[in-house]
Amino acid sequence: MTTETEKLPSIVSSVLIPRKDKNVKEALDVFFCFDDAFCLPTGISAFSVLENNKTLPLNVHLVGVDVSDKNLDYFKQLNCSPNSEILFHSLTAKECEKITASRSTLHFPPASFVRIFLPELFPALSKMLYLDGDTLCVGSLKELADLDLKGKLAAVVLDIKAKDGSSVRHGRRDFNSGMMLINVKPYVESDIAQKTLTVLENNRQYKSPDQMALNDALEDRRVILPKKFNFIQELTVHGEQDQDRPTDSVIVHYANRSKPWTEAFSTRLYQKYYGSSPWKGFSKELVYKKDPNSIRRYALWHLKNKDFGRFTKLLLIYLSVLIERKKRKLSKKNRTLEIKK
């Protein structure tokens, strides 16, 4: 087990918004892990959790890697019920090297590693609910708060079936790690964090490396929940598919690159929370991380709707992104060749 203090990153914790109701004895611990670039979606997800669980006592834990004071100020503006509180746990990428050093997977964002170690960083907790920042909570979490995990390591939802069959491995279907209700003590005692990193090192070919490694480490010691607790929502350009989600959905997960906080894939459901949150004044990105496929889809949508001016502009953006990526690949290839010489 990674219980030695020197092997874990140092965390500086503070209470952003204190609990006003001092009579609360138990609360559901909800965790988000993110860096400075992912503050907006994480903030909106946290906002949706608080909005739809006003009668349920919550401890909302924001675990941020190198988050700026400017971005942190927006989290301080969240509307928190008297029975809940918001805590911020600050880490640096340098500190995260304690768990990523000498790993072949070092190129993954530190926040991806931190979530694997959450139970070891907060061992005093009984259970914790981890949520990805690209989720929306649209219902009550009370059922999860009351769930008895009965010795299992985590409660999870099965991932959608991949066309290439990669979601079914070792005779079982993988779960999606964007929502995990974790049983802290057995998770730590089973050394799941270290097992996950070992799997990552030995399986560089994994398409969704941290998720697939977690599946391998947990094996069958999991409770399978209904998909309403992690409903994977795919979007098309202005398609509003999340309006047709199952009516009992509790957590909607925008797991692919069609992110609803962007201009191309914005939806009325997401805008409901976006527009009421502290981030409502932020302008939307065109697409997520300049993804060329998303830009192409957005351009074709405008062409279909006979907006030829906008289509032309997006086509030029699409071509410039492709050229930029090509240059980066060439530069990387040249550096590799120089090293080999």
Q: What is the pLDDT of residues 245-259, one digit of tens each?
A: 999 999 999 999 999
Cα separation, 88 vs 2, in Å, equals 23
The stretch 222-226 carries a mean pLDDT of: 96
Q: Which amino acid would we find at residue 197? A: L
For residue 113, the model assigns a pLDDT of 80
- Cα–Cα dist 35/315, whole Å: 31
Q: What six digits make up the tokens of 282? A: 């932020």
Per-residue pLDDT band for 205 (boundaries 50, 70, 90) equals low
Sequence spans of domains, the chain: 5-253, 291-341
Q: Are strands 222-224 and 154-158 parallel, antiparallel or unpaired?
A: parallel
**Contact between 228 and 250 (Cβ < 8 Å):** yes
Class of the CATH domain delimited by 5-253: alpha beta
CA gyration radius for the chain? 21
Furthest-apart CA atoms within the chain: distance in Å = 68
- State residue 329's pLDDT score: 85
User: β-strand 135-137 against 154-158: which pairing, if any?
Assistant: unpaired
Averaged pLDDT for residues 139-156: 97
- pTM, whole model, 2 decimals? 0.91
* pLDDT 10s digits, 293-325: 999 999 999 999 999 999 999 999 999 999 999
Give the pLDDT of residue 1.
56
Query: Can you tell me which residue has the tokens 């008895």?
Result: 148
Residue 169: pLDDT above 60? no
Cα–Cα dist 234/229, whole Å: 16
Question: Please, is 307 exposed, middle or buried when counting C-beta atoms within 10 Å of its C-beta (0-12, 13-18, 19+)?
Answer: middle
Given a contact cutoff of 8 angstroms between Cβ atoms, the answer to whether 120 and 3 are in contact is: yes
264 within 8 A of 298, measured Cβ to Cβ: yes
SS3 168: strand
Beta bridge partners of 175: 158
| Whole-number average pLDDT of the chain | 90
Query: Region 84-105: what's the mean pLDDT?
Result: 82
